Structure formats: structure tokens, C-alpha cells
Amino acid sequence: MVVSTLRMRRVALLGIAAALAAALAPAGTAAAETGPDCTNGVVPLNPYVVNCGLPPRGNHTIGAAPDAGAIIACRHSPICLSYYVNYPGTLIVPGYRP
């Protein structure tokens, strides 16, 4: 009789301790996921927007051939492409630049 009472108290104390540990332990919340640093499209006349569907860009050298994103963004404006190749950072129309 005494042994069963001690056993019941021990089980009750272990249950309370487990409940307190679960309640006081920090919740394992995952960090908020951030989206990719690119867009799923091309912004016309802005060759500096990074597109998710194109290969990553290399280093930009003045006078070098433009990358695919610049060619697509400036496809109807030779001035836009000329500025991208010869004057990096210059935009014809002010807009979003990463």
C-alpha cells in the first residue's frame, strides 16, 4: 500500500515536471522564409533587374557584351542597351534598381 502510493506520487511528479518543461521550453519557431532576390519577369528599359529564369550574371565590364537580361529588357531600345554597355548604372527611365 505504501509502495503504490509512493509510485503514484512519483508518476504524478514526473507528469507535472514533463508538463512544466514542455510549457516553459522555448517554442521551436522557424525563421520567416525570405523570397529569392530576383523577379519572375523582365522590367522594360531596366536591364539591372535580376531575373530568376536567366543564368546568373558575371562581373560587368564597360564595353563588354551585355548579358541575356539586358538584351531582353532593352530589346526595343538601342539607347537602353548602349547605356547598359557603356555607362553602367545609368537608366533611361528612373525605376527599380536592385
pLDDT reading at 43 higher than 60: yes
27 or 64, higher pLDDT: 64
Q: Which residues of 18-31 are buried (b: 16+ CB within 10 A; e: fewer)?
A: eeeeeeeeeeeeee
Express each pLDDT in 28-40 by its tens digit: 555 556 656 778 8
Cβ contact 82:92 at 8 Å: no
Over residues 55-97, the pLDDT tens digits come to 888 888 889 999 988 999 899 888 989 999 998 888 777 665 5
Contact 88, 62 (CB under 8 A): yes
Predicted confidence at residue 24, as pLDDT, reads: 72
Exposed / middle / buried, residue 87 (Cβ in 10 Å: 0-12, 13-18, 19+):
exposed
Q: For residue 47, what pLDDT is reported?
A: 87
